[in-house]
Structures are given as C-alpha cells and as structure tokens.
C-alpha cells in the first residue's frame, strides 16, 4: 500500500482556511480519496485540551517558551496518534495549520529563536514534512476584519496589528525558503478564484 499525502493549510487570521479546508475535503471525497481532516493545535483528546489552554484568554499568562513547548507537545501527540497512522495506511491527511504556523506565530510573532524551533521540529517530527502546503495570504487589515465577524476573539486573535504583520512576514519568508513545498494563494480575491487557484496547485498530486 502506498503512503498517503500530507497537505497543510496555513495563513493568518481571517484568510479563509476553514472554508477552503472543507472545500478541499469535498474535492477529494468526490475523487474517492480516503482522507483524514484534522487541525493544530489539536487533533487528539490531549492535544485538544492543550489547544483550549493555548487559546483561552482566561488562562494564566503563558510565557513565550511555554507556548512554544505546548504547541510541540500537542504536535507530538497529533503526529503519533493521528497523522503518521493515517499516512501509513494510505490515507491522505489535510491539516489546518502545522509547523509553518509555529515559525510564523512563535517565531515571527513572539520573536522566538528560529534555531530553537528547528530543534523542536526535528525532535518531534523526525523526517515528517508536508508534501504540500497552501498558504492563504491576505493583508492583515482584511483578515482581521473578516475574523471580527466570527465573534469573540481568542488569545491569539486578540493580539496587536503589529503582531499579525510580523506573523504574515514570517509566513512569506517560509514561502521563500521552501518554494517547492509552499504555494502562495492570494486570499483577498473572490472565493471562486481562490478555490480555482487551490485546484490548480492540487492537481499535480492527483496525476
């Protein structure tokens, strides 16, 4: 049995990840591809509890170092109990955020050392990397306006505009560093155009 493909969606707040993950899920199901759809932080009972801690504004103040370690603790569980087993049995995995988000949010947003993130990435993931990453990108102002329509902000969504500018800059740097894996999708265009761009990127994987 051939190993499944690992596809991740990335982007800041309000860029349409949830909508487009659902679109790709339907797209693959229509083509009879067995898949698992998951998210980070989260994906397992323990990782979901860590997600709640990380996103809650009611938690005690979380240090930058603790935040980074909690992200990778959740990721370790997620990889061992969901992602790797699915890929090994031939399922495709679609994940709403993965380690590129850590480089963007904890690296760019929190100014954590990239070498520290790289060390944890290698420890937790070994050789596991996505086969394809779709980075949905939009100007921060547009993304935050969209996110504001969803209701109350979580701990990350409540950050400053400058924080999200730094996050966006770090995401775009990841595209420069990994152009073969990460494909930039302009998310501030009509949804039909966004989804056509996504199909254009996904098509080579289906051949």
**Residue 181 burial by Cβ neighbours in a 10 Å radius (0-12, 13-18, 19+):** middle
Nearest residue to 129 via CA among 185, 170, 201, 181: 181
**Among candidates 54, 50, 129, which has minimal Cα distance to 93?**
129
Q: Of 75, 195, 194, nearest to 129 (Cα)?
A: 75
Of 47, 45, 29, the C-alpha closest to 37 is 29
pLDDT band at 68 (very low <50, low <70, confident <90, very high): very high
**Taking a C-beta distance cutoff of 8 angstroms, is the pair 143, 206 a contact?**
no
Q: What is the pLDDT of residue 119?
A: 98
Under DSSP, the state recorded for 74 is: H
Task: Indicate whether 198 pLDDT > 70.
Answer: yes
Q: Which residues contact 24 (CB under 8 A, 6 or more apart)?
A: 7, 9, 94, 198, 202
Query: Residue 147 has what pLDDT?
Result: 73
Using an 8 Å Cβ cutoff, are 47 and 78 in contact?
Answer: yes
Half-sphere CA count of 76, side-chain side, radius 13 A: 12
List, in sequence order, every beta strand (DSSP E) within the chain. Answer: 6-10, 35-39, 92-96, 132-137, 182-186
- pLDDT for 159 equals 80
In this predicted model, what pLDDT tens digit does every residue of 20-45 receive, in sequence order?
999 999 999 999 999 999 999 999 99
Looking at the whole model, is its pTM more than 0.85? yes
Q: Is the pLDDT of residue 86 over 90?
A: yes
The average pLDDT across 84-98 equals 98
pLDDT in tens, 41-51: 999 999 999 99
- The pLDDT of residue 162 is above 70: yes
Q: What is the mean pLDDT of residues 112-133?
A: 98
What the chain holds in terms of domains, given with CATH numbers, is 6-206 (3.40.50.300)
DSSP result, 8-21 = EEE-STTS-HHHHH
Q: Residue 141 pLDDT more than 90?
A: no
Q: Which residue has the higher pLDDT, 196 or 152?
A: 196
Q: Is the dihedral of CA 135, 140, 143, 144 positive or negative?
A: positive
pLDDT at 152: 67
């Amino acid at each position: 049995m051939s190993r499944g493909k690992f596809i991740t969606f990335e982007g800041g707040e309000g860029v349409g990840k949830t909508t487009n993950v659902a679109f790709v899920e339907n797209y693959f199901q229509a083509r009879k591809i067995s898949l698992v759809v998951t998210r980070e932080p989260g994906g397992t009972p323990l990782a979901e509890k860590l997600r709640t801690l990380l996103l809650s504004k009611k938690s005690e103040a979380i240090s930058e170092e603790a935040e980074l370690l909690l992200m990778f603790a959740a990721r370790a569980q997620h990889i061992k109990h969901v992602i790797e087993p699915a890929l090994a049995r031939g399922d495709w995995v679609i994940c709403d955020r993965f380690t590129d988000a850590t480089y963007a949010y904890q690296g760019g947003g929190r100014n954590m050392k990239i070498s520290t993130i790289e060390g944890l990435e290698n420890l937790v993931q070994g050789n596991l990397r996505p086969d394809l990453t779709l980075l949905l990108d939009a100007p921060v102002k547009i993304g935050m306006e969209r996110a504001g329509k969803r209701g109350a902000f979580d701990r990350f969504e409540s950050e400053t505009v400058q924080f999200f500018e730094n996050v966006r800059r770090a995401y775009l740097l990841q595209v420069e560093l990994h152009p073969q894996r990460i494909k930039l999708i302009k998310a501030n265009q009509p949804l039909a155009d966004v989804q056509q761009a996504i199909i254009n990127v996904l098509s080579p994987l289906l051949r």
